[in-house]
Amino acid sequence: MENNNLQPRDGFSSKLGIIAAAAGSAIGLGNIWKFPYITGRYGGAAFILFYLFCIAIIGLPVMLSEFLIGRRAQKNAIDSFKTLKPNSPWYLTGWLGFVAAVVILSFYGVVAGWTLHYVFLSIANKFVGNTPDQLGAMFGGLVGNPWLPIFWQVIFMGLTAGVILGGVKDGIERYTKILMPLLLVVILILDVRAVTLPGASAGLNFLFKPDFSKLTAEGMMSALGHAFFSLSLGMGTMITYGSYIGKKENLGETALQVTIADTAIALLAGIAIFPAVFAFGVEPGAGPSLVFITLPNVFNQMPGGYIFAIMFFLLLAVAALTSSVSILEVIVAYFTENLGWSRHKATWLATIAITAVGAFESLTNGTINFKLPLYKGGIMHMFGFFDWMIEMSDLLLPIGGLFISLFVGYVMLDKDVKDEVSDSGALSVPWYGLFKILTRYVAPVLIVVTFINMVFGIF
């Protein structure tokens, strides 16, 4: 193992492995399922521009911050803060991430379960001959069914646990290296079909012609939250992965490559979906069902659609898996390192508990429906619980990111930060001053302003 870590920790074995695992974490349902539906909900191009702004100005420096915290401390997300700033409350940032990990993984497993069901539907050739409305009803039938989504969710969470039990190098690194590039190829083929559909231009206009009057405070908050979600930031995933990165790797370059790959896949997914949304008359603001209704229409309209459908949903499930393992790893790393639990015990206990929470959320998509107080000042029907958990992650991750940014900007010793990003002076880092300005001022201020704006509706 080419890993010079001071402690005998499991770690990534190669440069490509690091990028594949970190990009594998970043690229997932967020890019292909969530990004298109929130883009549709919040009005298209202007939302995307604000999202890209958040990625570049906040996401990239926070990713580098997470990597350097983890690699410096050689610990899980919670203990990293304890190591770098002992006897201070900063470790609560790690705990916040822990809570976010539970929230996210609970709904993530449900949506990933839907994709497994769609693999099954594609193999059984169920899309063919259906109108867009019928394909919509097919999705409604799945999520409204009490047991079917839970069945697939349990399978997906079992797979996640299985990969985590394999450990970092053999479990996580091996799959991502091959399957992520394949996903890119399938999406590119879908793009070609989508942009050549009759009526595709309306979708492309929606994606690329900004109308800033459509950008709302809620949309801006969602774009910020999604920048964190999509890059796997704000909850310690990249701190945990940073702790597995060898001392000689260039962290700044790695963060940049992962950010570019993640953003490219999201935009390419948008290009595959929106022309089809408009061509088939699907409602852009359809929400979480958008991808599942739109793409089967595209598969029906292309030669080889049968095969592409299977490949697409299978690869989407794999992309989801390489993300879900990174979320579970945050929790398992803490249980094993801090509480001394075996990897087995930690993995299974966390998986079972989170699957149970997710199963409950899944049931609120149609089966159970009762009232819960304290939601947006009124009463929330449980029907909205699933959506609410997703919104929660849009709040929790930027708060985590705010503290991570402040920690690197003000709390860590400047020489330690510089030492990490420059690999002890081996790399020249002319951008270091800019990085410090971003972590000290720009990212924290933008996060706080976006929050205040959401609450008071200033812009």
Name the closest residue to ligand PFF (Cβ).
30
192, 149 contact by CB (below 8 A): no
- The correct pick among 65, 115, 323, 365 for binding ligand PFF (CB under 6 A) is 323
In whole angstroms, give the CA distance from residue 46 to residue 339: 46
Q: Which residues of 127-136 are buried (b: 16+ CB within 10 A; e: fewer)?
A: beeeebeebb
* Interface with ligand PFF, residue 104, by CB under 6 A: yes
272, 296 contact by CB (below 8 A): no
**One symbol per residue from 395 to 434: x for binding ligand PFF (CB under 6 A), - otherwise; what is it?**
----------------------------------------
Looking at the Cβ atoms of 161 and 197, the one nearer to ligand PFF is 161
* Smallest separation, CB 60 to ligand PFF (Å): 15
Nearest to 240 by CA among 311, 143, 332: 332
What is the C-alpha end-to-end distance of the chain, expressed in Å?
A: 52
Nearest to 289 by CA among 90, 68, 141: 141
Looking at the Cβ atoms of 115 and 362, the one nearer to ligand PFF is 115
DSSP of 107-149: HHHHHHHHHHHHHHHHHTT-STT--HHHHHHHHHHHHHSSSHH
Q: Of the ranges 49-57, 322-330, 344-352, 432-440, which one interacts with ligand PFF (CB under 6 A)?
A: 322-330
Number of residues this chain uses to bind ligand PFF (CB under 6 A): 15
Looking at the Cβ atoms of 48 and 302, the one nearer to ligand PFF is 48
What tokens does 35 get?
């990004």
* Interface with ligand PFF, residue 176, by CB under 6 A: no
Q: Of the ranges 113-121, 284-292, 323-331, 353-361, which one interacts with ligand PFF (CB under 6 A)?
A: 323-331
In whole angstroms, give the CA distance from residue 361 to residue 59: 29
* Smallest separation, CB 104 to ligand PFF (Å): 5
DSSP conformational letter for 345: H
4, 248 contact by CB (below 8 A): yes
* Smallest separation, CB 159 to ligand PFF (Å): 15
Q: What pairs with residue 378 in β-bridges?
A: 375
Q: Is 2 helix (H, G, I), strand (E, B) or coil?
A: coil
In whole angstroms, give the CA distance from residue 362 to residue 197: 34
- Among residue numbers 23 through 62, which ones bind ligand PFF (CB under 6 A)? 25-26, 28-31
- Among residue numbers 8 through 27, which ones bind ligand PFF (CB under 6 A)? 25-26
The number of residues in the chain equals: 459
- The correct pick among 232, 263, 351, 362 for binding ligand PFF (CB under 6 A) is 232
Looking at the Cβ atoms of 79 and 394, the one nearer to ligand PFF is 394
- The correct pick among 229, 241, 313, 385 for binding ligand PFF (CB under 6 A) is 229
Looking at the Cβ atoms of 135 and 315, the one nearer to ligand PFF is 315
* Smallest separation, CB 236 to ligand PFF (Å): 7
* Smallest separation, CB 35 to ligand PFF (Å): 8
Looking at the Cβ atoms of 115 and 230, the one nearer to ligand PFF is 230
Nearest to 320 by CA among 55, 132, 117: 117
- Among residue numbers 354 through 383, which ones bind ligand PFF (CB under 6 A)? none
* Smallest separation, CB 143 to ligand PFF (Å): 19
425: left (phi over 0), alpha (psi -120 to 50) or beta: left
What tokens does 289 get?
């069902």
Looking at the Cβ atoms of 70 and 305, the one nearer to ligand PFF is 70
Looking at the Cβ atoms of 77 and 421, the one nearer to ligand PFF is 77
Looking at the Cβ atoms of 68 and 279, the one nearer to ligand PFF is 68
Q: Which helix (H) or strand (E) holds 380?
A: strand 378-381
Our CA dihedral for 110, 116, 118, 119, rounded to 10 degrees, sits at 170
C-alpha dist (Å) from residue 12 to 74, 243, 247, 250, 251: 13, 10, 11, 14, 14
* Smallest separation, CB 391 to ligand PFF (Å): 14
* Smallest separation, CB 168 to ligand PFF (Å): 15
* Smallest separation, CB 185 to ligand PFF (Å): 19
In whole angstroms, give the CA distance from residue 271 to residue 34: 14
- The correct pick among 235, 286, 328, 354 for binding ligand PFF (CB under 6 A) is 235
Residue 321 has phi, psi (to 5 degrees) of -65, -40
Looking at the Cβ atoms of 76 and 230, the one nearer to ligand PFF is 230
- The correct pick among 3, 115, 237, 405 for binding ligand PFF (CB under 6 A) is 237
In whole angstroms, give the CA distance from residue 296 to residue 93: 41
Q: What pairs with residue 371 in β-bridges?
A: 381
The contact set with ligand PFF (CB under 6 A) reads: 25-26, 28-31, 104, 229-230, 232, 235, 237, 323, 326-327
